[in-house]
Chains A and B, each alone.
Chain A
Amino acid sequence: MESRNTSAPETASSGGALVLAWLFVGVPLLWGISQTFIKALALFNS
């Protein structure tokens, strides 16, 4: 819990939402990074 204006604790569902939210943006980002990394390897293979 991060708020000083509330006493409600974070729930397990908020933890699950957090994981899903980061997966939603993290998976495409990691895919993009991996594609770029593969391309970048050509520099070291030359």
Chain B
Amino acid sequence: MTEASLLDRSRTIAGPGYNRWLIPPAALAIHLAIGQAYAFSVFNKPLGSLISGDPANPAPDDWTPGQIGWTFSIAIVLLGLSAAVFGKWLERVGPRKAMMAASLCFGGGFLIGSLGVHLHSLALLYLGYGVVGGIGLGIGYISPVSTLIKWFPDRKGVATGMAIMGFGGGAMIGSPLAVALMDHFKGSAPQGVAPTFIVMGIIYLLFMQFGVWTIRVPADDWAPEGYVPSTEHDAMITTGNVSADNAIKTPQFWLLWVVLLTNVTAGIGVLETASPLIQNTFSEAAMGTGRGVTAAAAAGFVGLLSLFNLLGRFFWSSASDKLGRKTTYAIYFILGIILYALIPTLGAGLQLTLYVVAACVIISMYGGGFATAPAYLSDLFGKYQVGAIHGRLLTAWSTAGVLGPLIVHTLSEHAKEQNLAGAAAYQNVFYTMAGVLVVGLLANLAVRPVKEEYYEKGPVTIEAGGH
């Protein structure tokens, strides 16, 4: 028996009695690892002072924040592109081989990146963490999604919510882990970054192996005990199957693309500015001596947003099983529009508690938007190639990753030129994001069931244990 055969789809078909609740931990092992990407900023200062050794006084040859920032941007763009490109391959070869590829790319990306840090080669850092690691992100992100949907036809939102929650949690593990490792290796390498990259690459490679070897696909005729597909016809849940190639020809796919784009763009607006936002809005000048939000408290605010980002992924996605996907997204948008429009007023009125609550709810819906998307796709296009369709939808995320920060930086710069301070400096950001959400709301309202002409003709092999 060769190693390759162990990775084949046919070798991953679950035997009788296999407990489907083993699948979410397998998926979480992948998402908890690749979610580290959102903690990349923890390396910003150390990477920017590899030569000088002092983040406050970088040497002329030290990398600039802009140069370092590109590493994360490349990784996120590659995430979307690789998810789109490799989605159909994943459906064909199965989740185990895809997870193995993801683990090798993500872990390998760290190792190549460490060489880049050691040689002080920005190109190698981009190639390693950005390109190779980014491909690992994309394949890893979509690898468990369709498998989860097939195991949990009765709880699609719960299942995908659990996995995608892991992506939110990954940063919470990756950030303190990186800080601890850099501290440990500080004496042996500049800022301890290169050995930290090596250790993290190996840790993540091994951690992801748990997912690789635990994942199983259900047999063709498997169904959860007692599961009876609803006989009540819900027009928003298809009984047909649409291929990935046909899906992108439908207006529904592009409407959902806009839905994801707008939800993510608006959420990034808050995440990008969270720390300066709360410090400038609730500064000592505005609140009174000794009562302003400090840098440490702002970091706490960022941490709180991360927690709600994580919780929202599970809560909203699970709720969508009861509420329906379209209704859930309508809540994201309507509640989001109200809260975005309200936040500048809360800031101007120095209502710190309400301000924090509003931001947390917004971020929970940002996370929820990611987690609810696969189930929405499955409802509209069927299970046939839902992983590949999801991969293509993620290009909206890459686009939002550029668009969101662009909107925020442009409007913030404009506010600076007008000498606006405090809450006023950010009000245009929030009003613009409320407008962005209106576009998303309209797109979501326009989603209708997919026409039968796009369905696959005849029986399709839902690639579970089929071959």
Residues on A lying within 8 angstroms of B by beta carbon are 1-11, 14-15, 17-18, 21-22, 24-26, 28-29, 31-33, 35-37, 39-46
Contacts and interface: CB of A to CB of B under 8 A. Distances in A.
Contact of A3 (B17, B293, B299, B300): B17
Given A21-B26, A32-B169, A35-B176, A40 B300 contact: yes
B10 interface: no
Nearest to A38: B303
B25 A40 contact: no
A21 B299 contact: no
B300 A25 contact: no
A3 to B, nearest CB: 5
B32 interface: yes
B169 A33 contact: yes
Given A5-B222, A11-B17, A36-B172, A42 B32 contact: no
Contacts of B15: 6, 8
Nearest to A41: B300
B25 A22 contact: yes
Interface residues of B, number: 46
B60 to A, nearest CB: 34
A27 B176 CA distance: 14
Given A24-B25, A40-B303, A43-B301, A1 B225 contact: yes
A24 B211 CA distance: 10
B210 interface: yes
B307 interface: yes
B45 interface: no
Contact of A8 (B16, B20, B224, B296): B16
A24 B299 CA distance: 29
A4 B223 contact: yes
Given A1-B17, A36-B172, A21 B22 contact: yes
Nearest to A21: B25
A18 B296 CA distance: 39
Nearest to B304: A40
A41 B20 CA distance: 37
A37 B90 CA distance: 36
B225 A2 contact: yes
Nearest to B306: A36
Given A6-B16, A10-B17, A29-B28, A24 B210 contact: yes
A33 B310 contact: yes
Given A39-B303, A44-B300, A46-B296, A5 B21 contact: no
A18 B22 contact: yes
B417 interface: no
A11 B307 CA distance: 36
25 contacts: A3-B222, A4-B225, A6-B16, A8-B15, A10-B17, A10-B19, A11-B17, A14-B19, A21-B26, A21-B210, A24-B25, A24-B29, A25-B29, A25-B32, A25-B210, A29-B166, A32-B171, A32-B173, A33-B172, A35-B172, A36-B306, A39-B303, A40-B301, A41-B300, A46-B296
